[in-house]
C-alpha cells in the first residue's frame, strides 16, 4: 500500500534460526538492506560516506514465519520528513505465501560524523525523499 521502493531477495540458510525459519533479527536486516539501497538511490552516492544518518528508533511487527528459499520483497515508503530526521515505513512480503510477513518503522536522524552532531536535511534532499512518500506526507 503506497510503498514506492522495493528490494527483492531470497531467504538463505544464513537467515534462519534453529527452528528453520527466519531469525527475528533478520527482519531488521531486510529493513536495513532496502533502506541502504533506497538511500544510495536518493542521494546518488555509494559507500559508507553516503550513510550520513543515525538510527533513533526502529520497530518491527512480525506476522508470519518465512522459510529458506522463499522470495521476499522488502518495501519502503517515506512517512515523514522533518528538518533533521525522517520516518520510514517498511513491509516484508512473501511471494511464496502471497502475504505480508512483517512490517515496521524507523526514524533516522541526519548526522555529521565529523562534528558528532545532528544536521539539517538539505531542501533538495527533502524534495527527493518526498517523491517516495504518501500524498498525505507531502503537505
List Cα–Cα distances, 33 to 90, 94, 120, 125, 127, in angstroms: 11, 16, 24, 20, 22
Q: Do residues 92 and 74 make contact, with C-beta atoms less than 8 angstroms apart? A: yes
Q: What's the pTM value of the predicted model, to 2 decimals?
A: 0.90
The total number of structural domains that make up the chain: 1
Position 137 in a domain: no
pLDDT of residue 138: 56
| Model pLDDT for residues 44-65, shown as the tens digit of each residue | 877 677 678 999 999 999 999 9
Position 103 in a domain: yes
Position 138 in a domain: no
Task: Give the separation between CA 139 and CA 120, rounded to whole angstroms.
Answer: 19
DSSP 122: P
Position 126 in a domain: yes
pLDDT of residue 136: 64
Query: Residue range 26-43: average pLDDT?
Result: 94
CATH of the domain at 128: 3.10.129.10
Q: Do residues 67 and 20 make contact, with C-beta atoms less than 8 angstroms apart? A: yes
Q: Which residue range(s) make up the domain with 64?
A: 5-132
Q: What grid cell was written down for 12?
A: 538463505
Position 113 in a domain: yes
Position 44 in a domain: yes
Amino acid at each position: 500500500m503506497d510503498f514506492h521502493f522495493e528490494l527483492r531477495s531470497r531467504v538463505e540458510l544464513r537467515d534462519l534460526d534453529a527452528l528453520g525459519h527466519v531469525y527475528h533479527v533478520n527482519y531488521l536486516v531486510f529493513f536495513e538492506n532496502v533502506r541502504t539501497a533506497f538511500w544510495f538511490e536518493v542521494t546518488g552516492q555509494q559507500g559508507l560516506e553516503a550513510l550520513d544518518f543515525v538510527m533513533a528508533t526502529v520497530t518491527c511487527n512480525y506476522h508470519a514465519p518465512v522459510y529458506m528459499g522463499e522470495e521476499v520483497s522488502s518495501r519502503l515508503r517515506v512517512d515523514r520528513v522533518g528538518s533533521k530526521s525522517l520516518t520510514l515505513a517498511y513491509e516484508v512480503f512473501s511471494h511464496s505465501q502471497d502475504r505480508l510477513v512483517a512490517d515496521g518503522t524507523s526514524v533516522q536522524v541526519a548526522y555529521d560524523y565529523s562534528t558528532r552532531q545532528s544536521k539539517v536535511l538539505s531542501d533538495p534532499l527533502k524534495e527527493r525523499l518526498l517523491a517516495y512518500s504518501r500524498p498525505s506526507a507531502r503537505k
